[in-house]
Structure 1
Amino acid sequence: MIGTRVRKALAALTAVVAGVGLTGCGTDAAGPGPVWHGGTPAPAGAATATPGAAAEVRLTFAGDVHFTGRTRRLLDDPQTAFGSIASALRDADLTLVNLETAVTDRGTPEPKTYHFRAPKTAFAALRAAGVDAVSIANNHILDYGRQGLSDTLDAAAEADYPVFGAGRDADAAYAPWLTTVRGLRIAVLGMSQVHDLAGSWRATDTRSGVAMAFDPARATAAVRAARKQADLVIVFMHWGIEGNSCPSAEMKTFAGTLSGSGADIVVGTHAHTLLADGWLGPTYVHYGLGNFLWYGTSHSTDSGVLNLVVRGRTVVDSQFVPATVSGSGQPVPATGAGRQRILDKLATAQRCTGLAARRDG
């Protein structure tokens, strides 16, 4: 993505000019930046690497985001909607989250318990925070039916904002978002493994919807096709058992399928609690990033930002920066005992992942 860091710097400057007096944050609006162990930033004005070259690229991921309830009013000022955590999002070369909402004011609510929707300013808030693209392969993107999905796609196009994981037909839903960062060609796919309404929400050749993991032939074909187009393949999954910090057998099986099909990085959301990470052969897997910008109570307020440094297809460093979802719904970097508690929780959760602590191969 040529010019990404420059764009993020401009977004950060805009936020400072707008003023960052944020609920639930300290006086240090910028917050602590991530400490990288192994990543070396390119000097200012450095030449772009050739495609596939071994330039280090910084990737950042975070969990579920929506603008409903207490987080809806954060869009009154989209430039500061994410609060102090935005500095950690802007620091990366490429930042991705899961947008857990339809962007619409139309449509009919689907037969389900929770319904999330947001105005078009959601995309302005994401861009201002340094989020480069979002997965919409989740169990809320069709909360207001196919009208809501169509409006979301139209709003994203109007904002010139990349979304992936759902589309107007199966080809669009399973298509990767393609970008180039420092000469590294990156393909990002989004898929859902949530069972609720999966049959009626899945994209088909003649119907809009979500890219579902329940069509393994199409899912693996999508990863293999992306593999031919990119140096690095990322799959952003929506999966897991709500409140459970251990991956299910279904998740583990599909992670293996993705790895075998050529995925280099698999990152997940949905469980409303943090899961852990590790290696599945040459593939880096993080099973669940929890809630991030969240409207109300849930299984856990533990959150955070996942930072990866990649060189070519290889993750050469990983770091999780703990955060807590505050009373405003904004994630705030955790410090002291709270930070250590989250890190200890992740260390315990790692034991049930079945993942190796180190890369194989």
Structure 2
Amino acid sequence: MRRMMFVVPLLLAGCSAASSSAPASAPSPSSASAATASASAAASPPPADLTLVFAGDVHFMDRTAKLLKDPATAFGPVAAQLSAADLTIVNLETAITSRGAEEPKTYHFRTTPVAIDALKAAGIDAVSIANNHTLDYGRTGLLDTLDALRSARYPAFGAGANTDEAYRPWLTEVRGVKIAVLGFSQVGELSSSWAPGPDKPGIAMAFDTQRAVAAVTEARRRADLVIVFNHWGDEGNSCPNAAQKTFAAKLSTAGADLIIGAHAHTLQGSGQLGRTFVAYGLGNFLWYGPSKSTETGLLRLTVRDRAVTKREFLPAVVSDTGRPTLLTGAAATRLSQRYAGLSTCAGLT
């Protein structure tokens, strides 16, 4: 991500000396107000156009763990698209730990801090850790994950050492735009035991709707642009379920400008929910093995003054190496058309 500071010079019109010794007449109140408004407008820079890129689930297990032998190239050629944006965010679906005991669940993902090097090298600016794998190795694993991210000075959101930290947004500024990013999990597995407490590490849960909505409301007060990255949906279902739609509507009302999602292991539709842009599911992105679908892609949005002015879907598939590979030609057209059609069952315009 390129963070840039623009200095806008204030241009003052020169005034010639009056030829008469008589004092100039005072401006009328209406002309004075117009002049003040004009000067204020001239001093305020226009809203910046931001290019934001989002992708789905990432972890480094089995075949993708091998990619960490060279973290600089772990994501392959798609890194050029990731790094070109002003802000790029994915879901990191793994604990960063070598300790802890496996939680009572089927799948367990963990990796080493080298994964952070790979994320940085690919141009990914921040990650959501509000998902159903961050605590695969218990609270010990979560605390190790938080420590690794903190040590690497790498932004993450959606989990924390206590409730306040878990629901706290990541705040950043890009091209003069203040951005708040939050993450919530709506996956039921172990959700009650993984929820944070006043002195208990955990994941920000969508099931505590009141707390989640309050967090978005507060973020709206502090930022120009509010982004929410959710982990939700039914695995293998290309259409969002009722819980997703209900939660999205509440977040929109609270002031979320963009709502991005993953978890279903397949693409789900995107479009407008009122003034909020919603992308329900971006599928797997860098993935360890077989899945419900290999379809994936990059969602590239141009945003100005809280509104999406341009949206692009760059279709891709998860390759045999686990890396995402951008499609071209007829295959790209077919997947782009399928993705566009998914907005119908999503109920989005």
Residue in 2 that maps onto 1:302: 295
Deviations 1:61-86 (A, max 9, x none): 00000000100010000000000110
Q: Conserved in 2, the CA contact under 8 Å of 1:53 and 1:183?
A: no
Q: What pairs with 1:213-292 in structure 2 (closer than 5 Å)? A: 213-292=206-285
Partner of 2:235: helix, strand, or coil? coil
CA distance in 2, matches of 1:292, 1:51: 40
Partner of 2:207: helix, strand, or coil? coil
Q: What pairs with 1:144-159 in structure 2 (closer than 5 Å)? A: 144-159=137-152
Letter in 1 for 2:6: A
Q: Conserved in 2, the CA contact under 8 Å of 1:53 and 1:184?
A: no
CA distance in 2, matches of 1:105, 1:51: 51
1:205 counterpart (180, 183, 198): 198
Q: What pairs with 1:1-361 in structure 2 (closer than 5 Å)? A: 4-5=1-2, 47=6, 53-356=46-349
CA distance in 2, matches of 1:52, 1:242: 45
Kindly state the Cα deviation for residue 53 of structure 1 after the two structures are TM-superposed. 4.8
Partner of 1:256: helix, strand, or coil? helix
Q: Conserved in 1, the CA contact under 8 Å of 2:2 and 2:174?
A: no
Kindly state the Cα deviation for residue 137 of structure 1 after the two structures are TM-superposed. 0.1
Deviations 1:252-302 (A, max 9, x none): 000000000000000000000001101111100000000000000001110
Letter in 1 for 2:101: T
CA distance in 2, matches of 1:101, 1:186: 25
Partner of 1:73: helix, strand, or coil? helix
TM-score normalised by length of structure 1? 0.85
CA distance in 2, matches of 1:133, 1:188: 9
Deviations 1:40-95 (A, max 9, x none): xxxxx882679995010110000000000100010000000000110010010000
Letter in 1 for 2:53: T
Per the alignment, do residues 108 and 236 of structure 1 end up closer, same or farther by CA in structure 2, a change over 3 Å counting?
same
Kindly state the Cα deviation for residue 97 of structure 1 after the two structures are TM-superposed. 0.2
Letter in 2 for 1:149: L
Letter in 1 for 2:168: A
Letter in 2 for 1:143: D
Kindly state the Cα deviation for residue 337 of structure 1 after the two structures are TM-superposed. 2.1
CA distance in 2, matches of 1:151, 1:347: 40
Asked which structure has the greater RCO (Cα within 8 Å, sep 6+), the reply is: 1
Q: Which runs of 5+ in 2 are unaligned?
A: 9-42
Partner of 2:281: helix, strand, or coil? coil
Partner of 1:5: helix, strand, or coil? coil
Identity of aligned residues (%): 58
CA distance in 2, matches of 1:340, 1:73: 31
Letter in 1 for 2:54: F
CA distance in 1, matches of 2:282, 2:5: 33
Q: Conserved in 1, the CA contact under 8 Å of 2:5 and 2:175?
A: no
Letter in 2 for 1:352: C
Kindly state the Cα deviation for residue 191 of structure 1 after the two structures are TM-superposed. 0.4
Equivalent residues, number:
315
CA distance in 2, matches of 1:52, 1:170: 38
CA distance in 2, matches of 1:177, 1:51: 26
Provide runs of 4+ in structure 1 moved above 6 Å. 49-52
Deviations 1:192-225 (A, max 9, x none): 0000000000112221100000001100100011
TM-score normalised by length of structure 2? 0.88
CA distance in 2, matches of 1:351, 1:333: 25
Coordinate RMSD, CA, aligned: 1.5
Kindly state the Cα deviation for residue 313 of structure 1 after the two structures are TM-superposed. 1.0
Q: Conserved in 1, the CA contact under 8 Å of 2:268 and 2:280?
A: yes
Letter in 2 for 1:208: P
Which of structures 1 and 2 has the bigger CA Rg? Answer: 2
Q: Conserved in 2, the CA contact under 8 Å of 1:184 and 1:232?
A: yes
Letter in 2 for 1:5: R
Partner of 2:217: helix, strand, or coil? helix
Kindly state the Cα deviation for residue 150 of structure 1 after the two structures are TM-superposed. 0.3
CA distance in 1, matches of 2:276, 2:221: 17
